[in-house]
Each structure stands twice: as structure tokens, then as C-alpha cells.
Amino acid sequence: MPIPPTMDELLADLSRKIKDGTYPSGSQLPSGRKLADEFDVSKSTISRAVALLREHGVLVGRPGRGVFVAESDRR
């Protein structure tokens, strides 16, 4: 059974996927549940990671719509 990633590893993985175009600029992230399943972590861990990336301007929340990758010029 694989060991779930640490928060630092999770943040690095999400950032890498944004940089490599897996989640392109302006695109909506998958749901928290899908990300939790993808990274083998709890939904609350994903929520914390997303909150940190929002604080750093990497992601933006749109009420009622979801979380999106910030446009390149906003990062």
C-alpha cells in the first residue's frame, strides 16, 4: 500500500501539474473528491492544499463555480 504524500509533496505535485499543462491556465480543477482520490489523501488535505495555493495566487476560487488555475499574468 503506497504512503500518502506529505503536504509539501502534494503542493509540489499540484504545482507541477499546473506548470506542465495538466491543469492549464484558466482551467477548472477537478472536484475535491477526485483530487483526493488521485493523490490518495483526504478531502480535507486537498482543501488545505488548495487554500494554500489560493493564498499564493496560483489558484482562484469562483463562488458557485469552483476553483480555477489563475491566468498566467495573475501569477
> Does 65 have pLDDT greater than 70?
yes
Please give the grid coordinates belonging to residue 26: 484558466
Whether 34 is in a domain gets the answer yes
Whether 33 is in a domain gets the answer yes
Whether 1 is in a domain gets the answer no
Whether 2 is in a domain gets the answer no
Structure confidence by residue, pLDDT tens digits, 17-48: 999 999 999 999 999 999 999 999 999 999 99
Whether 68 is in a domain gets the answer yes
Q: Which domain holds residue 33?
A: 7-74
Share of the chain above pLDDT 90, in %: 85
pLDDT of residue 74: 52
Q: What is the rounded CA–CA span in Å between residue 5 and residue 21?
A: 21
Q: What is the rounded CA–CA span in Å between residue 10 and residue 8?
A: 5
pTM: 0.86
Q: What is the residue-averaged pLDDT of the chain?
A: 91
The number of distinct structural domains making up the chain is 1
Domain of 59, CATH number, reads 1.10.10.10
